[in-house]
Structure 1
Amino acid sequence: MDTQSVSMRTKLESYRASCGGNLANCPVREVMANLSGKWASLLLLLLAEQPLRFGELRRLVPDISQRMLTQTLRDLQRDGYVRREVFPTTPPSVEYSLTDLGRSMFEPLRGLLQWAEGNHTAVRTARTSYDELVR
């Protein structure tokens, strides 16, 4: 077994032990729950560039519904990744930005983002092959 597999197995055993043997309570799963949604990663990437207002986010992601954008932003706020700031203007202005916690995830995610960019074509090819087989 290679070193990477042994390391992953050791981490999995450690998580299992810390969760009393129940991986449903795994801390990684809990932390990643809202990050792995359809829209969260895209919104976080946009907010990593600069703070944005709700309407700006809506224009940048035109296929997200208003309800889903609101819910995803609330989930990201609740987990501490996004800050919602209300400015006392008429009408009130609201801006969303990443918190320090939200910004801190980009360094560990950099490798995953590079992997995804490098393997996007392979994943699409695999999906097409699979879809043709199951028709």
Structure 2
Amino acid sequence: MGATDDDASGRRSIGPHLAWVEPPDVLHTRIDGDITREHVEELLDALATFPPAWRIYILRDARGGGAPTREAREALVKGLPLDQIAAVVSYGASFQTRTLLTMLNHAMRVLRPGKTRFIFVETEAEARAFLEADRARRA
């Protein structure tokens, strides 16, 4: 299933997941089930809508469960623009998903060193507080 714009707010469906831009620098995603290679490719397309010089935050609502398939993990390692992403902040992820994504993060750091931070918190409020603090630190 391809990405489709759902409504005037700019939310787009990526398979069973949703993604939308929160100006100026956040791509917010809501995960609902497992993530396939096709979903990753559509997510990368959404990231490409940001100007190349911008630092982007990915805010992941992971309460809907799911994890990336092996093929999706490979696509993330190869395609995620780490030089453009300030941080990936996940909230509500299960222990299993946090463990898997932590291992993926370690693989990315070995294969493609960069400064992207992968953060896990319990709530959306904690995630947004991290974003604000990180923006202030970078200013």
Range of TM-score over shorter length:
under 0.3
TM-score, normalised on structure 2?
Answer: 0.24
> Which TM-score applies when normalising by structure 1?
0.25
- Larger helix percent: 1
